[in-house]
Structure 1
Amino acid sequence: MDHRLQEATGPDPANMDVMLNLSEEFRAKCKTLMEETSKACKRLQDEDSRHLNQRVRDIQFLQKEMELKLGEIILEADVLVALQSRVMKALEVCKESLRVNILCQEDRKKHTSSERQQDEVNKELLKEKKVTEDVASLLERVAEQVSEQIRLNRSTKYHLERDLKEIFEAQNIDNPCALMTVHSNLTQEKPKDNCTEPPSVTVTPKQWENISDLNIAKAVQQKTNSMSLRTLVESVLQQTAADVQKQFQATTVAFQLYIHQVKFSKDQMEEKLSKILSEITAQQLIRQDLQASITENEHFLSLAQARWSQRHQSPGKKQFQDPAQVQLRTEIQQLTAHIKKLREEMAQSEKQEIVLFSSQQKLQESIDIKANSLYTDEVLCKQHRESIIIFNF
C-alpha cells in the first residue's frame, strides 16, 4: 500500500538528499585515501631511492678501495716474484761456487806427497767452502719464506678478486634499481615470482661490508709483511754477496801468492839445474883433458922406459949409473906418479859427475813437481774459478 502510495506521489526528496550526501562523502573519502596513498608512495619511493643511492655510493667506495688494494697486492706480488728470481739465481751461483771449490780441492789432491800439505790456499779453500755453504743454507731458508709470502699474496689477490666480482654483481643489480621509475617499470615485464619474502640465507649490508673490510685489512697486512720481507731479503742478498765475494777474493789472493812462490822456487831450481848441467859438461870435458894428459904422459913414460931398457942392454962394464941413467929413472918415477895422480883425479871426476847427475835428477823431479803444481793452480783452478759469475746478488 505504501509502495502504491509512493508510486502515486513520486520519489521522496529527503531520501534523495541522504543518498547524495552519502555519495559525496564517499567521493571525498576516496579522494582523501588516494591523496594519502600517493603521498605514502612518494615518501616510500623517495626513501627507497635514498637508500638505494646510498647503497650504490657505498658499493662504489668499497669497489675503489678494493681495486686500489688489489692493484697494490698485484704489484707487490710481481716485485716479490722478481726478488724470488734473484734469490734463486744467487743460490745457483753459490752451488756453482761450491762445485768449483770442490773441483779445485780435488785437483790439488793430485799434487805429489811433498806438495800435498795444508798451505794457505787449502785453508782459504776450506774457509770459502764453509762460507758458501752457510750462505746457500741461508738463501734456501729465505727462498722458502719468499715462496710462502708469494702464496699468501696470491691468496689475498684471489679473495679480493672474488669480492670485487660480487661487488660488480651487486652493482649490476642496485644501479638499475636506483635508476628505475614508475614509467620505466611499466614497460618492463613483471616478475612472476613473489619477491616479498626474504631469502632463507642472507647477510646484512654491515656483515657484507665487514667481510670486504676484512679482505682489505688482510691485503694491507700482507702488503706490509711482503714489504718487510723484501727489505730483509735485500739486506741478506747484499750481505751474503759481500761475504762470499770477500772470501772468494781472499782465496784468489792465496792462489796468487802460492803461484808466485812456486814460480820463484821453480826459477831458482831451474837456474841451479842449468849450473849443474854446465858443471856436468865441464866434468866430462875435464875428464877428456885428463885422459889426453894421461895418454901424453904414458907416451913419455913409454919413451923413458924404452931408453932405460935400451941402456940396460949395454955390456956389463958399460953399465954404470951416469947422470943420464939417473935422470931416466927419475923421469920414469915422476911420470908414473903423474899418471897415477891423473887417474885418481879422473876417477874423482867420475864420482863428482855421478853426484851432479843425481842432483840433476832430483832437481828435475822437483821442477816437474813445481810445474805440475803450477799447472793445477794457475791453469786448471784458475779456469774453474773464472767460470763463476761475479757475486752480485
Structure 2
Amino acid sequence: MARLLQDPSKFHPSEWATANMMQRVSTESQKSRSECMIAESWRLVDEIEKTTQKTQSDVNKKIEQRREEIKFWKQELDNKLEQIVHETEVLLTFKNRLERALESCKEPLVIAQKCLLYRQRRVGIDLVHDEVEQELVKEAEVLQGIIALLGHTLEQTNEQIRQNRSAKYNLEMDLKDKFTALTIDDYCARLTNDTPDMMYADNAVKIEGNFVSPKDWVDFSNINVEKADKQRNNSLALRALIDGILSQTANDMRKHCEMVNVAFRNRVKEVKDAKHKLETLLAMVMDETASQEKNIAALKKAIADKEGPAKVAQSRLEARSHRPNVELCYDRVQCSLMSEVQEITKNIQRQDALAQAETELKGLSRRQLSLEEEIKVKENTLYIDEVLCMQMRESVYINNF
C-alpha cells in the first residue's frame, strides 16, 4: 500500500528546461518547415500556373497554326475541286462534240454505200470500175476509219471523265474531312478556362491506332491534289487531241466528199458526151437509112421501068413468030428484036445493086438498134449517177464538229 502511494519519479529541472527547449525548437523547426512548404507551395502554384498558362498558350498557338494549315489545304483542295469540276464540264462538251461527229459520219457512209450499190445496176460496157467507183470506195474506207477513230477517242474521253470524277470524289472526301477537322479545331480554339459546362474526358490522352503522322496527313492531301492536277492535265491534253481529230476528220470528209462529187460531175459529163456522140451517129444512121430506102425505091422503079420495053420486044417477037411460010425470015428486024430482048434481060439481071442496097439497109438497121440500145445504156447510167446518186449526195453537208 505504501508502494502504491509512492510519488512518481520526478524530472530534473534541467530535463524540464531541456524538454521545453526541445518543444520550442521542434515547434520552430516544424513552423519553419511549414513556412518553407507554404512558400514552396506558392512557388509551385505560381510555377504551375505559369507553366499551365504557357502550355495552354502554346497549345492555343498550335491550334491556331493547325487551323491555318487546314484552311490552307482546304483552300488548295477547293481550288483543285473547282478546276477539276470545270474541266470535267468542258470535257463533257467535247464528248458531246465527239458523239455528234460520230453520228454525222453515219449518213455519208450510208450514202456512199448506197451509191456503190446503185452503180451495180449499170449494164453493159458502162459497168466499169471507173474513177467514181474508186473515189466512192476510198470515201467509204475513210469514213469507216474516221468512225473507228472517233469511237476509240470517245472511249478515251469516257475513261478520262471517270478519272476526273474519281479525283473529284477524293477531293470532296478530303474537303469533307478538312471541314469537320476545322469545325472541331474552331470549337477547341473557342474553349477557355471560363467556358461553362466543361467536364473531364476520360481517356482523352489515349493515342489510338488510327492516328496518322503530320507528314502522312500532308502527303494524303498532296496526293489528292497531285492526282487532280494530273487528271486535269491529261484532260487538257485529251481536249487538244480531240480538237485536232475533229478538225482533221471534218477536213478529210469534206475533201473526199468533194473528190467524189467532182468525179461524179466529170463522169456524168463524159457519159453525156458519149451519149451525144451516139445520138449523132444514130441520126446519121437514120439519115443514111432514109437515103438507102430512097435508093432501093429508085432501083426498084428503074427495074420496073424496064418491064415495058421488055414486054414490047417479047410481044413483037411472039407476033413475028407467027409469020407464014417463007415470010418467017430471020431478017434484020428479027435480029434487032432478039438483041433488044437479050440486052434488056441481061441489063435487068445485072442490076444486083438492089440486093446490095437491101443488105446495106439491113446493116444500117442493125446499127440503129445497136446505137439505140447503147443510148439506153447511157441513159440508165446517167439516171443512176445524176439522179439517184448525185441528188442523194446533195443532202451531205459537213460542218465543223
Report the equivalent of 2:233: 224
1:347 to 339, 342, 355: 355
Q: Which amino acid aligns with 2:97?
A: R
CA contact 1:93–1:391 (8 Å) conserved in 2? no
1:367 to 371, 375, 387: 375
Q: Which amino acid aligns with 1:206?
A: K
CA contact 1:91–1:136 (8 Å) conserved in 2? yes
- State how far apart, in whole Å, the 2-side matches of 1:17 and 1:334 are: 196
Q: By how many angstroms is 1:48 displaced?
A: 2.5
Report the equivalent of 1:170: 181
Cα 1:326–1:391 change in 2 (3 A) is: farther
2:245 to 236, 239, 247: 236
- State how far apart, in whole Å, the 2-side matches of 1:46 and 1:135 are: 69
Matched, 1:358 2:369: no
Q: By how many angstroms is 1:139 displaced?
A: 3.4
Query: What aligned pairs does 1:93-242 form with structure 2 within 5 A after superposition?
Result: 93-183=104-194, 186-188=195-197, 190=199, 194-242=203-251
CA contact 2:272–2:382 (8 Å) conserved in 1? yes
Q: By how many angstroms is 1:164 displaced?
A: 1.0
The structure with more radius of gyration: 2
- State how far apart, in whole Å, the 2-side matches of 1:322 and 1:167 are: 152
Q: Which amino acid aligns with 1:348?
A: Q
Matched, 1:86 2:115: no
Report the equivalent of 1:278: 287
Report the equivalent of 1:258: 267
Q: Which has the larger displacement, 383-392 or 325-334?
A: 325-334
- State how far apart, in whole Å, the 1-side matches of 2:197 and 2:325 are: 177
Cα deviations across residues 270-314 of structure 1 (Å, max 9, x unaligned)? 111122223323333443444444444434543554455456556
Matched, 1:54 2:65: yes
Aligned residues: 379
Q: By how many angstroms is 1:126 displaced?
A: 3.4
- State how far apart, in whole Å, the 2-side matches of 1:229 and 1:125 are: 32
Alignment partner of 2:205: what SS?
coil
Cα deviations across residues 4-23 of structure 1 (Å, max 9, x unaligned)? xxxxxxxxx99999999999
Matched, 1:43 2:54: yes
Cα deviations across residues 330-371 of structure 1 (Å, max 9, x unaligned)? 6655554555456x3333332112101111111122112222
Q: Give the gaps of 5 or more residues in structure 2.
A: 1-23
Q: By how many angstroms is 1:62 displaced?
A: 1.0
- State how far apart, in whole Å, the 1-side matches of 2:54 and 2:190 are: 17
Matched, 1:64 2:72: no
Q: By how many angstroms is 1:77 displaced?
A: 1.8
Q: Give the gaps of 5 or more residues in structure 1.
A: 1-12
- State how far apart, in whole Å, the 1-side matches of 2:392 and 2:112 are: 8
CA contact 2:253–2:398 (8 Å) conserved in 1? no
Matched, 1:74 2:82: no
- State how far apart, in whole Å, the 2-side matches of 1:62 and 1:121 are: 65
Matched, 1:298 2:279: no
Cα 1:337–1:191 change in 2 (3 A) is: farther
Q: By how many angstroms is 1:202 displaced?
A: 1.4
- State how far apart, in whole Å, the 2-side matches of 1:214 and 1:360 are: 88
Q: Which has the larger displacement, 102-111 or 186-195?
A: 186-195
CA contact 1:93–1:388 (8 Å) conserved in 2? no
Report the equivalent of 1:6: none
Q: Which amino acid aligns with 1:359?
A: R
